[in-house]
Amino acid sequence: MPSAALATPSVAVLKRVARSHNLTDETYRRIVKTLGRAPTLTEVGMFGVSWSEHCAYSSSKPYLQQFPTRGPRILVPAGKENAGVVDIGGGWAVVFKCESHNHPSAVEPVQGAATGVGGIIRDIFTMGARPIALLDSLRFGPLGEPRSRFLLEGVVKGIADYGNAVGVPTVGGEITFDAAYRDNPLVNVMCIGLVPVRRIARAAAGGVGNPVLYVGSSTGRDGLGGASFASRELAEGRDADRPAVQIGDPFTEKCLIEATLEALATGDVIGIQDMGAAGLACSTSETAARGGVGIEIDVARVPRRAEGMTPYEVMLSESQERMLLIVKRGREERVKRLFAKWGLAAVEIGRVTRDGLMRVRDGPAVAAEIPASALTDEAPVYHRPVRRPAWLSRAQRLPLARVPLPKDYARVLTTLLGSPTIADKSPVFEQYDHMVQTNTVVLPGRADAAVLRLRSGRRPERSRGAAVLRLRGLGRWLAATTDGNGRACFLDPYEGGKLAVAEAARNLVCVGARPLAVTDCLNFGSPQDPAVMWQFKACVRGIAEACRAFKTPVTGGNVSFYNEGPRGAVDPTPVIGMIGLIESGMGPMTANFKDEGDAVILLGETREELGGSEYLAVIHRRKAGRPPRVDLAGELALQQLMLTLAAQGLLKSAHDCSEGGLAVALAEGCLMEPSRLIGATVSLQPPAGARRPIRTDALLFGESAGRIVISCARYHVERIEHLAARHKVAMAVAGRVGGVHLCIDSWIDAPVDELSEAWRSGLRQALGVRR
């Protein structure tokens, strides 16, 4: 029972604090029932953050259960630990997860993005894995608007400042621009780590009497929102300076990575958890609940950087670069020395108890005493109302007769290539260290997915928990990508969800990688809006179906609701992070055409699908129609064909056909490698006797799913035809590589260097970056 002195606020005050945490009066009553008494202020705060939408998935839980989570390679399924774990053979596993940091980035883009990077990296190395790569999926408003440029530049700087210093390469991702994100940008960061299977760490407490260590930076009032403000005002009647923005410290994080991996390698650590959102409150109760034990801590022992902090504030602070460790009794000094070597504080703040209670002391007084499982498992689940948006049918109408055919297709192509969503992203990528750790074998922007060589470990170095070295004979590469198409989801969330997964898988097979598993960030508006919940429901169904069809289980991720501004919600934007493995000795494929005379082949079928295309948006300023249909069986056949072609070493290049359609995919094949610009002559005319002619703009710029542009030596064409027929994938030999122009039928004849200039200068000009 908490000490009387700390339980003084009146019920009215407590309810106000509860409401500031978005807990309804009904939920408040539930807390009283759970505890069998009125809660203390600290307890209200702990319930508030633990039962928040962010921590408890209150609105999304009923739908997320549709995701397939198991598979032969899945070592730790979704939800069990901080991130999913996938077996990649040879005694090694990949740990990966994607997380959003949208709201902090909207407030303060540099620190918002930086702390997003820091947080996701901690999720990975707390599993015992060395972080080996980062990818960022970003969405902003149109670059013509100063605020969009400010946000983009800030976010990129934040990612660069943090990721570069911490020594984890940023190897890929995507950036898309649309008016839907002008008030609320999306910043989703995915981190990948590598761990020996036998050294996967757990986020569970265990062993009654074992000490609980607090490690890393000190605790301040960072990230305490309005709830804290209210609580202070009411509890103490005085104001304080409360930095609502968390500040990242990549130097401390780098030391934390090294010290933690060293500590985990000693075997002295039983459980470990990052203090992420909701800090000590969630990390202590989650580790306790997972281990089926209790934890007692004393907030008076927590290192602080602000004076006069209340237990409420210490428990809820979101100060960065902090970890919670449960270590074997008797080994605490050894662990502390190890952290001290890296200049990090490690303080014993409590111990594991038998009673299953999360007990928070402040010196002799007890500030909170809650069954740990009540915080983690008994959060309310909301079955929110769901309703198809009234505007959707109208948005889906796209009478093509009223969309005029362009007069100059070459000019349309140049415009599309220079539009920020399609244009070369190297002005951004060059600000990220994408080479540190020397595993990045395909530079960003040169292929459809990022590719890392995998080097297996040897005896851990003194300075590194999991030193890596190449297994020369193994010939294995890890590929990763992030994909999502908000416009498609806006027009049809179910198809859009499928499309995101299908495109991610297509990107992986384009480098020759077999898709293994998925992490997702689901970015939506307010769950209290039935239209948003309808989008969410449909989108999750689409993702789940596609993941099941491709046998790529979902290993974790996060849901971000309330992405809204004064002008409404963002487009529903699921971001799919997918990893794959290249196991054949041929190595990764890139997207650019290689040699004069090679055949250019189109795999898949082009339909008259212009709905939701980049072409419609950029050229005709329309966001309408139905997005391309995804045929999951067809996609799977295409994937399998690609893996066969890659394994047999038949291909010289492969490039997925997405934003901007075939014309853009072909142009990118010509110009992607700056030192080797090369032309191509192709015909997209359907063979005589084809069912129904397709509008030329749909042929060139439509975004039908399930298509890949490949190139190969001419003498392989027959073999590829044979394999395509066997996999029942439509195939057309469209032309050949060569010359210095891209020629597409009679519609387009453009010098490749001009196309290249348009593509390379698009984003640079919009941002004013000097080469």
Partner 1 sequence: MKFGVVVFPGSNCDQDCLDVLRDVLGQPAVPLWHQETSLKGCDAVVLPGGFSYGDYLRTGAIARFSPIMRSVARLAKDGGLVLGVCNGFQILLEAGLLPGAMLRNTGLRFICRFVTLRVERADTPFTNRFQPGQVIRLPIAHNEGRYTADAKTLKAIRDHVVFRYCDEDGRVTDAANPNGSAGALAGLTNERGNVLGMMPHPERASDSALGSSDGRLVFESMLEAMVHA
List of residues contacting partner 1 (CB under 8 A)? 160-161, 164-167, 249-252, 254-255, 341-343, 426, 429-438, 440-441, 443, 453, 461-464, 467-470, 769-771
CB of 384 to partner 1, least distance (A): 43
Closer by beta carbon to partner 1, 171 or else 504? 171
DSSP 254: H
Closer by beta carbon to partner 1, 116 or else 706? 116
CB of 626 to partner 1, least distance (A): 41
CB of 644 to partner 1, least distance (A): 24
C-beta of residue 708 within 8 angstroms of C-beta of residue 574: no
Closer by beta carbon to partner 1, 19 or else 341? 341
Q: Does 383 participate in catalysis according to the annotation?
A: no
Please give the torsion angle defined by the CA atoms of residues 605, 607, 612 and 615, in that order, rounded to the nearest 10 degrees.
90
Integer Cα distance of 481 and 771 in angstroms: 26
Active-site residue (options: 54, 434, 655, 716)? 54
CB of 562 to partner 1, least distance (A): 32
Integer Cα distance of 53 and 49 in angstroms: 8
Closer by beta carbon to partner 1, 461 or else 605? 461
Structure token digits, residue 23: 């807990």
C-beta of residue 193 within 8 angstroms of C-beta of residue 320: no
CB of 392 to partner 1, least distance (A): 42
Active-site residue (options: 21, 101, 716, 727)? 101
Distance of CA 290 to the CA centre of its chain: 25
Q: What angle do CA 641, 643, 644 make, to 5 degrees?
A: 65
C-beta of residue 97 within 8 angstroms of C-beta of residue 123: yes
Q: Which amino acid is at 474?
A: L
CB of 676 to partner 1, least distance (A): 13
Strand partners, 523: 560, 573
The answer for residues whose C-beta is within 8 angstroms of residue 408's C-beta and 6 or more apart is none
Q: What angle do CA 518, 522, 527 make, to 5 degrees?
A: 150
Helix (H, G, I), strand (E, B) or coil at 137: strand
The answer for residues whose C-beta is within 8 angstroms of residue 310's C-beta and 6 or more apart is 41, 42, 231, 232, 235, 236
Structure token digits, residue 150: 């400010």
Closer by beta carbon to partner 1, 248 or else 634? 248
Closer by beta carbon to partner 1, 259 or else 578? 259
Integer Cα distance of 703 and 663 in angstroms: 10
In degrees rounded to 5, what are phi and psi of residue 619? -85, -40
Helix or strand run (H / E) with residue 734: strand 731-737
Q: Does 101 participate in catalysis according to the annotation?
A: yes
DSSP 40: P
Which residue reads 């239209």 in tokens?
A: 531
Instruction: Tell me the torsion sign for CA atoms 174, 484, 479, 603.
Output: negative
Closer by beta carbon to partner 1, 203 or else 261? 261
CB of 157 to partner 1, least distance (A): 8
Q: Where do the DSSP E strands lie in 71-114?
A: 74-76, 84-89, 92-100
In degrees rounded to 5, what are phi and psi of residue 439? -120, -5
| CA separation, residue 692 to residues 98, 628, 688, 689, 703 (Å) | 43, 18, 10, 8, 18
DSSP 255: H
Structure token digits, residue 468: 């890596």
CB of 167 to partner 1, least distance (A): 3
CB of 430 to partner 1, least distance (A): 5
Closer by beta carbon to partner 1, 110 or else 360? 110
DSSP 129: P
CB of 426 to partner 1, least distance (A): 8
CB of 93 to partner 1, least distance (A): 20
Which residue reads 């005694």 in tokens?
A: 91
Closer by beta carbon to partner 1, 183 or else 253? 253
* Cβ neighbours around 677 below 10 Å, total: 17
Closer by beta carbon to partner 1, 238 or else 462? 462
Which residue reads 């995919």 in tokens?
A: 665
Integer Cα distance of 26 and 693 in angstroms: 61
The answer for residues whose C-beta is within 8 angstroms of residue 138's C-beta and 6 or more apart is 152, 155, 173, 174, 175, 176, 185, 186, 187, 188
Closer by beta carbon to partner 1, 92 or else 342? 342
C-beta of residue 143 within 8 angstroms of C-beta of residue 149: yes
Strand partners, 84: 96
Q: Active-site residue numbers?
A: 54, 101
